[in-house]
Chain A
Amino acid sequence: EVQLVESGGGLVKPGGSLRLSCAASGFTFSSYSMNWVRQAPGKGLEWVSSISSSSSYIYYADSVKGRFTISRDNAKNSLYLQMNSLRAEDTAVYYCARDRDQLQFDYWGQGTLVTVSS
């Protein structure tokens, strides 16, 4: 059974940093591109970042470019999102999601809440 479990969310002040993790199991992690998708409270879904299976290709939404860094450790079956210079508008539930093909997300974690507030 495919499982994605996020962790690392919490309350952080504006300008602060946070590192999210996503532990994957039940599939060959190193064979899939992975993504972070977020959802602000009461709002819709927003794609944040994507990383290819071997980390060769990395992409970011304009809203987080230069502030967030996606990475993965295939030996540990883990995906990460380093978030720096956080803003109030980054407040959201962050989901990790597996890419089945062309940014179509077939498995999602349960999400981790990031709250940016003073």
Chain B
Amino acid sequence: QSALTQPRSVSGSPGQSVTISCTGTSSDVGGYNYVSWYQQHPGKAPKLMIYDVSKRPSGVPDRFSGSKSGNTASLTISGLQAEDEADYYCCSYAGSYSDVVFGGGTKLTVL
């Protein structure tokens, strides 16, 4: 399995919206509705932000939303805040429990 493709970096000003894309294939992102997104601050453990493509765990602000079209999933963060500055990783189930693939990560900078 090849890694999912994410932009290396994105940026936005406070209050703006940004979207991070995650491109895979019909064998992973396009084939299953099990795409998840993780936020990771420097030196910290990843935190689940989105699961099942578009669902938010309890406690995650509704500024975070997920979607999918074909083989590309997207994470949109609206009303950017300084604390949103972090690395973001997408992840997709790919048909079996030995087939899970992460994206390479996207560094979000809040200007």
Contact = CB atoms under 8 A, between A and B. Distances in A.
B104 A44 contact: yes
Interface residues of B, number: 25
Interface in A49-67: 50, 57, 59-61
Interface stretch (A9-17, A22-30, A76-84, A97-105): A97-105
B97 A45 contact: no
Contacts of B36: 104-105
Contacts of B104: 44
Interface range for A: 20 to 34
Contacts of B97: 33, 50, 57, 59, 103
B91 A111 contact: no
B88 to A, nearest CB: 11
Interface of A: 33, 37, 44-47, 50, 57, 59-61, 95, 100-111
28 contacts: A44-B102, A44-B104, A44-B105, A45-B46, A45-B102, A46-B102, A47-B100, A50-B97, A50-B98, A59-B97, A60-B98, A61-B98, A100-B51, A102-B32, A102-B93, A103-B34, A103-B91, A103-B93, A104-B51, A104-B52, A104-B91, A104-B93, A105-B36, A105-B38, A106-B51, A106-B57, A108-B47, A109-B45
